[in-house]
């Protein structure tokens, strides 16, 4: 084994250093005791202690001996530097020695598990990679092919035997993606304590698509686009995308300024829908909306349950019928739609309440409101399309 050979080499270096640490005994007695007879030297305890030479620094110093000792030490130092093997140095009673990088390398080769773990946790990849977490986001990120995938990390233990986790591993293996087992602590750190369900995926980021105001959707029926202004909470954005995809929205467009990006948190909140749905980003929603109005689209805004007086007509979403290509606008969590976008709207929709509201409760969460609005508009739109298609 490499480990045993490196251990023998280590012992060999130790023995060599001990021999070099006795220069006085190997070169004969020092000059001041050379005139004594062997009998006198045996009777003199001080001379015996000097000849044991356990520590050359405490022995009587002689210039000639010191010169020869320094020469041997220098020779050893030159040889050791050529072989990249440093002599061990004791650091106190603990017996801790400095070993060369070569010896450490030889020792690690006997522990493939440790070496494999270090390689797994530090794969070579682009610095811009992010960590997608959760069963559905990881599986859809693999199957949709919109990201460049680097590595799948799976929680070690019984979690890796669950059918949902195995399906992700099989998909990664099918696509030639490296699968590595790591601890729960590592996954918690990678996902920033998110609910990873035992899997994380290192992959390239997913960004907003560039919007072209001249493009139109090729979906069936009357197109309905969802326009989001300054949605900053990733949980809200993820929930909106999930509802929009499920209910059949043709396109989602988001403002780029003051909006949260398409992050792994959004992907998890959308249950992986973000990996499948094409979400567009727009620098100026106002310019885009005015362009679409010229093309014959209608722009519909949303307001709270108790809207202020407005020159724009306000209707209940349950009473509104989509009869032509429509863009539904949803505003930010705190302030709603900005004045610029409200000025483009042709109609404002609200969700009727089921009771008298207490002061301060005049609206729903933006993701919940989006789901209700979309369900109401799209259900009636489909019914209208089906009636028109009947002979």
Same-domain pairing of 93 and 131: no
Confidence at residue 304, expressed as pLDDT on a 0 to 100 scale: 84
Same-domain pairing of 215 and 353: yes
Same-domain pairing of 296 and 227: yes
Condensed to tens digits (0 to 9), the pLDDT of residues 275-326 reads 999 999 999 999 999 999 999 999 999 998 777 777 899 999 999 999 999 9
Condensed to tens digits (0 to 9), the pLDDT of residues 55-99 reads 444 444 555 555 555 555 555 445 444 444 333 344 444 343 343
Confidence at residue 391, expressed as pLDDT on a 0 to 100 scale: 61
Least confident of 32-41, 194-203, 227-236, 355-364: 32-41
Return the higher-pLDDT residue of 73 and 334: 334
Domain end call among 158, 177, 203: 203
Same-domain pairing of 184 and 254: no
Using a pLDDT cut of 90, give the percent of the chain over it.
54
Condensed to tens digits (0 to 9), the pLDDT of residues 106-156 reads 333 333 344 344 445 545 556 789 999 999 999 999 999 999 999 999 999
Would you say residue 117 lies in a domain?
no
Confidence at residue 213, expressed as pLDDT on a 0 to 100 scale: 61
Same-domain pairing of 165 and 289: no
Least confident of 44-48, 113-117, 205-209: 113-117
Would you say residue 232 lies in a domain?
yes
Same-domain pairing of 359 and 261: yes
Would you say residue 36 lies in a domain?
yes
Give me 271's structure tokens.
């249950």
Identity of the highest mean pLDDT range in 83-92, 255-264, 352-361? 255-264
Would you say residue 122 lies in a domain?
no
Return the higher-pLDDT residue of 387 and 176: 176
Domain end call among 111, 145, 167: 111
Would you say residue 8 lies in a domain?
yes
Contact criterion met (CB below 8 Å) for 273 and 245: yes
Least confident of 26-30, 161-165, 203-207, 268-272: 26-30
> 357: pLDDT confidence band, cut at 50, 70 and 90?
confident
Characterize the bridge pairing of strands 149-155 and 199-203. Answer: antiparallel
CA 256 – CA 340 distance, rounded (Å): 16
Would you say residue 6 lies in a domain?
yes
Confidence at residue 302, expressed as pLDDT on a 0 to 100 scale: 95
> 177: pLDDT confidence band, cut at 50, 70 and 90?
very high
Confidence at residue 85, expressed as pLDDT on a 0 to 100 scale: 35
**Which DSSP string corresponds to 290-324?**
HHHHHTT-EEEEE--SSPPP-SS-EEETTT----S
CATH code (residue 154): 3.30.1330.30
> 252: pLDDT confidence band, cut at 50, 70 and 90?
very high
The alpha-carbon radius of gyration of the chain (Å, integer) is 38
* Three-state secondary structure of 52-114: HCCCHHHCCCCHHHHHHHHHHHHHHHHHHHHHCCCCCCCCCCCCCCCCCHHHHHHHHCCCHHH
Same-domain pairing of 99 and 136: no
Same-domain pairing of 183 and 230: no
Domain end call among 203, 237, 254: 203
| Predicted TM-score of the model (pTM) | 0.68
Condensed to tens digits (0 to 9), the pLDDT of residues 374-383 reads 999 999 887 7
Return the higher-pLDDT residue of 50 and 162: 162
Indicate if the pLDDT at residue 273 is higher than 70. Answer: yes
Same-domain pairing of 187 and 234: no
Same-domain pairing of 198 and 226: no
Mean pLDDT of the chain: 77
Domain assignment of residue 50, given as a range: 2-111
Same-domain pairing of 241 and 321: yes
Confidence at residue 382, expressed as pLDDT on a 0 to 100 scale: 77
Least confident of 113-117, 356-360, 369-373: 113-117
Confidence at residue 161, expressed as pLDDT on a 0 to 100 scale: 83
Same-domain pairing of 243 and 319: yes
Confidence at residue 157, expressed as pLDDT on a 0 to 100 scale: 87
Confidence at residue 148, expressed as pLDDT on a 0 to 100 scale: 96
CA 128 – CA 164 distance, rounded (Å): 28
**φ/ψ (deg, to 5) at 336:** 75, -155
Would you say residue 243 lies in a domain?
yes
Indicate if the pLDDT at residue 384 is higher than 80. Answer: no
Return the higher-pLDDT residue of 339 and 104: 339
Residue with tokens 């949605």, as numbered in its chain? 231
Would you say residue 121 lies in a domain?
no
| Structural domain count of the chain | 3
CA 317 – CA 294 distance, rounded (Å): 24
Return the higher-pLDDT residue of 211 and 386: 211
Contact criterion met (CB below 8 Å) for 378 and 321: no
Confidence at residue 219, expressed as pLDDT on a 0 to 100 scale: 59
The Cα-based distances of 168 to 98, 192, 197, 206, 238 in angstroms read 45, 21, 12, 19, 21
């Amino acid at each position: 084994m490499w480990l045993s050979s490196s251990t023998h080499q280590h012992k060999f270096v130790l023995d060599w250093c001990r021999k070099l640490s006795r220069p006085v005994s190997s070169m004969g007695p020092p000059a001041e005791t050379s005139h004594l007879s062997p009998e006198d030297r045996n009777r003199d305890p001080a001379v015996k202690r000097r000849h044991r030479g356990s520590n050359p620094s405490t022995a009587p110093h002689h210039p000639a001996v010191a010169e020869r000792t320094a020469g041997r030490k220098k020779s050893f130092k030159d040889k050791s530097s050529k072989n990249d093997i440093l002599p061990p140095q004791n650091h106190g009673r603990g017996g801790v020695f400095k070993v060369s990088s070569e010896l450490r390398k030889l020792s690690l080769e006997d522990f493939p598990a440790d070496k494999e773990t270090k390689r797994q946790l530090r794969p070579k990849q682009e610095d811009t990679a992010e960590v997608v977490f959760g069963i559905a986001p990881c599986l859809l990120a693999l199957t949709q092919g919109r990201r460049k995938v680097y590595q799948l990390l799976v929680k070690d233990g019984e979690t890796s035997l669950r059918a949902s986790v195995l399906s992700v591993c099989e998909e990664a293996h099918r696509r030639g993606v490296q699968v590595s087992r790591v601890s729960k602590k590592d996954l918690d750190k990678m996902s920033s304590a998110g609910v990873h369900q035992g899997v994380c995926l290192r992959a390239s980021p997913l960004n907003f698509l560039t919007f072209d105001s001249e493009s139109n959707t090729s979906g069936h029926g009357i197109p309905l686009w969802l326009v989001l202004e300054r949605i900053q909470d990733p949980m809200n954005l993820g929930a909106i995308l999930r509802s929009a995809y499920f209910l059949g929205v043709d396109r989602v467009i988001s403002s780029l300024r003051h909006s949260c990006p398409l992050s792994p948190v959004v992907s998890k909140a959308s249950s992986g829908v973000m990996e499948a749905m094409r979400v567009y980003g727009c620098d100026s929603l106002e310019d885009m909306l005015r362009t679409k109005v010229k093309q014959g689209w209608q722009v519909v805004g949303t307001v709270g349950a108790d809207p202020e007086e407005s020159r724009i007509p306000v209707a209940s979403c349950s009473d509104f019928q989509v009869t032509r290509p429509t863009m539904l606008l949803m505003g930010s969590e705190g302030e709603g739609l900005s004045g610029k976008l409200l000025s483009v709207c042709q109609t404002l929709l609200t969700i009727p309440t089921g009771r008298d509201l207490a002061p301060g409760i005049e609206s729903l969460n933006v993701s919940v409101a989006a789901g209700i609005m979309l369900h109401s508009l799209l259900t009636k739109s489909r019914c209208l399309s089906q009636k028109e298609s009947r002979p």
